[in-house]
Chain A
């Protein structure tokens, strides 16, 4: 009797203690939660602007509610069509380039010389760590009319007119994709290299005994083994279809290529801060966010169904 009573009391105080600990923990967490709300959730209320006829200077409460007006406007916006084409073209080109890091990883893994292997791995990753502004500065030093490439061409007497790489609207998509590849190929190859290192060496030994050459080993062992990694990265790239790199195109924008380089994010910025059309800019941005989330979830459920694994 006495024992049970004591036992109950102990359990009760323990429970109460846990409760007190829980509250203490919650109180300590609170500032961080407020922080997350302030910087990630509060901006969502800005979406309200998309439904009003807002003009900067007038409080939102005194402006007219226009419902889906700004979203309908998108359908008739010729600029919007051009911007969508630019965005999709640049995204698709970068998706087409997706196998390149995989190829690089295979090439690096086939190098037997340890020094050369480390050298190529560390140097190709370097561009990943620099900002797009520095990439722009480097590209400018290479390709401007007084840049290295044009000086070499002029010296060798190959051509009289300087090559215009960064201000050429016809090739801007290709040039930008090449720059993106230059910046990211080494970094993206790291993931594949890790996957290749993880492949069981016995598979290669067995193939060797069967008389398979290096090319055969690559095609029948390396590639099938890193395919799952490739597919995950490809799917993630597809879900980012509308988010063609804002910083890159903002930095490389100039009057000559403006029409072809203006992607969705740049358009949102121009509408908002250059022409001060906050509501329409917000509507376009919202359209982008919603489509991106839908794409991500669709692709995730597709991946779950086909591979039995989610990617996010």
Chain B
């Protein structure tokens, strides 16, 4: 009796709930716009007609032209930089995946002496950092200055990846490995034929982590590589921004010596380079999201 009465009075309209929803949806929509608009803006700017865009672009492209893409791709060194970025992403990711997974597998083997000690030795590296000048001088001493290997070697082994893979391998059923061992397989064969294929979920997560890191990293390039043939896409964008930032009155034609660019404003070029650097991330984004969320959860469980 009493219950039905209460139900009847509460059911029709729940004002606090409505108000909560209204405020909640409004705030989230504002956040959505703040997050997405800058990306949208550079997109519509990059496909606008360069000179029409100068008088303002807001919601729709001003005229339509892919001329800025054609001009940007002909900028000095841009194609080479794109190649370097792609190469460092592919090679760096492969190296990280192979090194970290094999190393982590070896650490899971109980018959290895000093196993715990080695594991700790690797993990501690996550918590200290020698600092900028020691890092700089060491890389120089190794001959990595102006060297492509600088991009891919130092990141090959990471304590965090080792934790993730080791924890994953340890929860695989040991029987699988045992049977391979009885068949006379050595460690390397067991790793390549049994462990590695079974670890695909975690390997994929780490590969995605590593690829994103490689694509986005630029400070090694910034500090240690001057060779124009080894510039990454990120640094090309940075240099371009800095030039147009300090000399904003300069036209794109003066910034580059390519005749093709003379018809473009520096803004158009800047938007287009930004699009080119962002596009690969947006394309693989759904995959990133899935693996990253998985990775962060696994990291939270920690081994």
- Report A's interface with B, CB cutoff 8 A: 18, 21-22, 24-26, 28-29, 32-33, 35-36, 38-47, 49, 104, 107-108, 110-111, 116, 119-120, 122-127, 129-131, 133-134, 136-142, 144-146, 148, 151-152, 155, 182, 185-186, 190-191, 194, 213-215, 246-247, 250-251, 254, 265, 268-269, 272-273, 278, 281-282, 285-286, 288-289, 293, 296, 312
A126 and B133 within 8 A (CB): no
Main secondary structure of the interface of A (DSSP, over half): helix
Ranked nearest first, the 4 interchain pairs of A and B with the lowest CB-CB distance are A46-B134, A285-B131, A43-B130, A131-B216
B42 and A36 within 8 A (CB): no
Identify which of A18, A28, A49, A194 contacts B106 (C-beta below 8 A). A28
Distance in Å from the Cβ of B44 to the closest Cβ of chain A? 10
Chain B 18-32 interface residues, beta-carbon cutoff 8 Å to A: 20, 24-25, 27-28, 31-32
A268 and B133 within 8 A (CB): yes
Q: Mark B201-227, 1 if CB is under 8 A from A, else 0.
A: 000000000001001111100010000
B113 and A39 within 8 A (CB): no
Residue of A with least CB distance to B27 = A107
Q: Mark B137-152, 1 if CB is under 8 A from A, else 0.
A: 1100010000000000
Residues of chain A lying within 8 A (CB to CB) of residue B20 = 110, 214-215
Identify which of B38, B132, B288 contacts A269 (C-beta below 8 A). B132
B241 and A142 within 8 A (CB): no
**In the complex the two chains form, what is the Cα distance from A167 to B91 in whole Å?**
39
11 contacts between A and B (CB under 8 A): A33-B118, A36-B121, A36-B157, A49-B133, A126-B285, A141-B267, A142-B41, A155-B56, A190-B296, A194-B296, A281-B132
Distance in Å from the Cβ of B59 to the closest Cβ of chain A? 11
The number of residues on chain B lying at the interface, defined by a beta carbon within 8 Å of a beta carbon of chain A, is 85
Identify which of B109, B241, B282 contacts A25 (C-beta below 8 A). B109
Q: Which of A36, A41, A139, A254 has the most chain B CB atoms closer than 10 A to its own CB?
A: A36
Residue of A with least CB distance to B135 = A43
Please tell me if B167 contacts chain A, counting CB pairs below 8 Å.
no
A285 and B138 within 8 A (CB): no
**A43 touching B281 in the complex, CB below 8 Å, given contacts A133-B218, A138-B42, A251-B238:** no
Please tell me if B252 contacts chain A, counting CB pairs below 8 Å.
no
